[in-house]
Structure 1
Amino acid sequence: MTDLTLRPAHHHDQDAIWSILEPILRAGETYALPRDWDRERALAYWFSPAHHVFVAQDAGAVLGSYYIRANQLGPGDHVANGTFATHPAARGRGIARAMGLHSFETARALGFSAMQFNLVVATNAHAVALWTSLGLREVGRLPGVFRHPVQGPVDALVMHRSL
């Protein structure tokens, strides 16, 4: 990584974001989203009005994207939630870590007091290790709630940290 920049996503980033999301969706191993979503549906979801969307860019290339939003409405809207995606060719370069740290700062600036991930697939060892290293702790385990395409029903973790 030469000069990673984290910035709000723009309409012109959609092709790059789709190139990141499509292989993740098709694999079906980490997101509780339909594997058959097309570009239009996936990007409409990613850029939902309630989502604050960002990209991680290095040397002009978008290598990752994330969004944060309120985890719940009303009395639960002080807790942030997020979804993160790194381009397959950029994994292992600290992109997800940088996006995670940026998301905590952004969430604080938006008035959130905590970050909670409702469904971290337990077999996604890289995500579990990353979030644990960034101070999230497992506060619950949901047995067999994720239908993994290879391993069948697997557990998901609820992870949380104060900001």
Structure 2
Amino acid sequence: MQIREATDADWASIRPFLQEIVAAGETYTYPRDLDEPTARAMWMLSAPSRTVVAVDDDGATVLGTAKMNPNHMGGASHIASASFMVDPAHAGKGVGRALGEYVLDWARAEGYRAMQFNAVVESNVRAVALWQSLGFEIMTTLPEGFLHPTLGYVGLHIMWRKL
């Protein structure tokens, strides 16, 4: 697997699984009916933020993607954030972990002092476990902060780690 900067051409590969994940409504706070232009603008970030893709060894298949950016402005601009999506067809193969490690390295290299995830859905136990294994702590949980389509209201974690 390789991780590289996302290009405009990669959007055609990212869009289908991004739309599938968002429409399922289980892990992201995005509107389930997110239209394509809005999704593209939200995901395909420009500098100083960054969007990357994880591709298979021959570079032909996009396995997942991450976007990374400052979480806050002004006096809190030393805190980074990131979002991740792995194509469900490639889940469980270490793509999320590789993207997570990449993003942490990027944030350190950019001089951020910490990384914060603002909205990790409590019922997304695989993601919560992954982030904890990469050193993130659950700082607080907003009770019933997320309306899951089948589980009803579940908590929404704010997760953080020092860099």
TM-score (norm 1): 0.95
Is 1:21–2:18 an aligned residue pair?
Answer: yes
Q: Who is 1:140 aligned against? A: 140
Q: How far did 1:149 drift?
A: 1.1
Which runs of 5 or more residues in structure 1 are unaligned? Answer: none
- Segment of structure 1 superposing worse, 94-103 or 56-65: 56-65
CA deviation map 1:52-111 (0-9, x unaligned): 101001032111000111111111110111100000100000000000000000111111
Distance 2:162 2:92 in 1: 26
Q: How far did 1:51 drift?
A: 3.4
Q: Who is 2:72 aligned against? A: 72
* Matched ranges for 1:5-154 at <5 A: 5-49=2-46, 51-58=49-56, 59=58, 60-154=60-154
Partner amino acid for 2:81? N
Distance 1:19 1:114 in 2: 31
C-alpha root-mean-square deviation of aligned residues, in Å?
1.0
**3-state SS of paired residue (1:22):** helix
Q: How far did 1:39 drift?
A: 1.8
Distance 2:158 2:35 in 1: 28
Say whether the 8 Å CA contact 2:45–2:67 is kept in structure 1: no
**3-state SS of paired residue (1:120):** strand
Q: How far did 1:48 drift?
A: 3.7
Q: How far did 1:151 drift?
A: 1.2
Say whether the 8 Å CA contact 2:139–2:160 is kept in structure 1: yes
Partner amino acid for 1:17? I
Distance 2:33 2:153 in 1: 19
Identity of aligned residues (%): 41
Partner amino acid for 1:37? L
Distance 1:51 1:150, change over 3 A: farther
Q: How far did 1:47 drift?
A: 1.6
How many residues end up aligned between the 2 structures? 160
**3-state SS of paired residue (2:123):** coil
Which runs of 5 or more residues in structure 2 are unaligned? Answer: none
